[in-house]
Amino acid sequence: MVLGPLMIDLHGPVLAPEEREILMHPLVGGVILFSRNYESREQLAALTAAIHAVRSPGLLIAVDHEGGRVQRFRAEFTELPALHRLGEEYARDPDAACGLATELAWLMAVELRTVGVDFSFAPVLDLYNGHSRVINDRAFHAEPEAVARLAQAYLRGMHAAGMAAVGKHFPGHGTVVADSHHELPVDRRSFYDLTMRDLLPFRMLAAAGIDAFMPAHILFPEIDAVPVGYSKIWLEQILRRNLEFQGAIFSDDLSMSGAMIAPTALERARLALAAGCDMCLVCNDRPAVEAVLGGLKLGPSPLTQVRLMRMHGRAVPVAAGGLEHDARWRNAVALAARLDVEPALDLGDDAPA
């Protein structure tokens, strides 16, 4: 079977028989996990093994696990600092901060890979702005050059741990105040202004070989009349052609208020896929998932399959005997502890980030 264009969620910590049937549907290609799917590392490893065993090739398993207030699994996982803490360190010593970024990204990724999670939707490439309630300290820094440099270091850490990376939220969510979970943000800046600032980290990460991007549910009326995730101008013309990006494109959750440009999830999925998304997320709405699976007619694209297959997790480079015996893991845990983790605003366990 090929990987379908839909990523869905599960109800709880075990794979229910009816969910197994849904995962067998050829339009399903992945599963996104939330806090409700987690009880312990042992339980999570069993859940991911069950998901991967449903089909061959295995379905992609993803999670939002950035650190700070967006970390779905906490007990038995290292508590990770918000990415902005790395930006604060960057202001003091850029080279040291980049080293920290690599080690903390490796730590995040290796702890997920050792329990069977393929990838995290990270890193955030938005620019820091204290007025953005939804992004805020999830962003590395206010300056695009600093974001790009820290994110490239973060990418190296994820890759070293056998994990693909997903930069979000293209072309930049940090400047708008509105939260796309609850409304459609509108950014009225020109393309020139975006190019000079917000787009720079995405351009540099595309050149650095990042594996995937996630577009924002934001409307830029100076560029197109539809939000980014439904825009061929943004995804095909700007991201694919201008930035020469060859990786996968994952939509943000089509159930979010900012995504509601069409009345049904089926229509929104059709629009997102037609615009250039390789995989669409539909979360916390099982009837919507069933409607999409029942109505979407889409043949497999060889190019999309290549992009998605590259998102599978690779071999985990840890010492024999597990993480606790690995010197790099122990050192990274100590580094995380020294950064004074202070989770702030809680987005909610079941809110895609």
Catalytic positions are 181, 252
Dihedral (Cα; 18, 19, 25, 30), 10-degree rounding: 180
Contact 59, 52 (CB under 8 A): yes
> What dihedral do alpha carbons 6, 174, 196, 141 form, nearest 10°?
-110
Q: How far apart are CA 252 and CA 226, in angstroms?
A: 15
- For β-strands 166-170 and 279-282, DSSP reports them as unpaired
The edge-to-edge listing of strands for the beta sheet with 212-215 is 119-120, 60-63, 28-33, 6-8, 279-282, 248-253, 212-215, 166-170
Q: E-strand spans in 157-226?
A: 166-170, 212-215
57 in Cβ contact with 3 (< 8 Å): yes
**Cβ–Cβ < 8 Å for 205, 155:** yes
- Rounded Cα distance, 125 and 141, in Å: 9
Residue with tokens 């060859």: 246
CA distance 172 to 176: 9
Helix (H) or strand (E) holding 290: helix 286-295
Alpha-carbon distance of 314 to 211, in angstroms, equals: 13
**Dihedral angle computed from the Cα positions of residues 187, 188, 191 and 195, in that order, rounded to the nearest 10 degrees:** -50
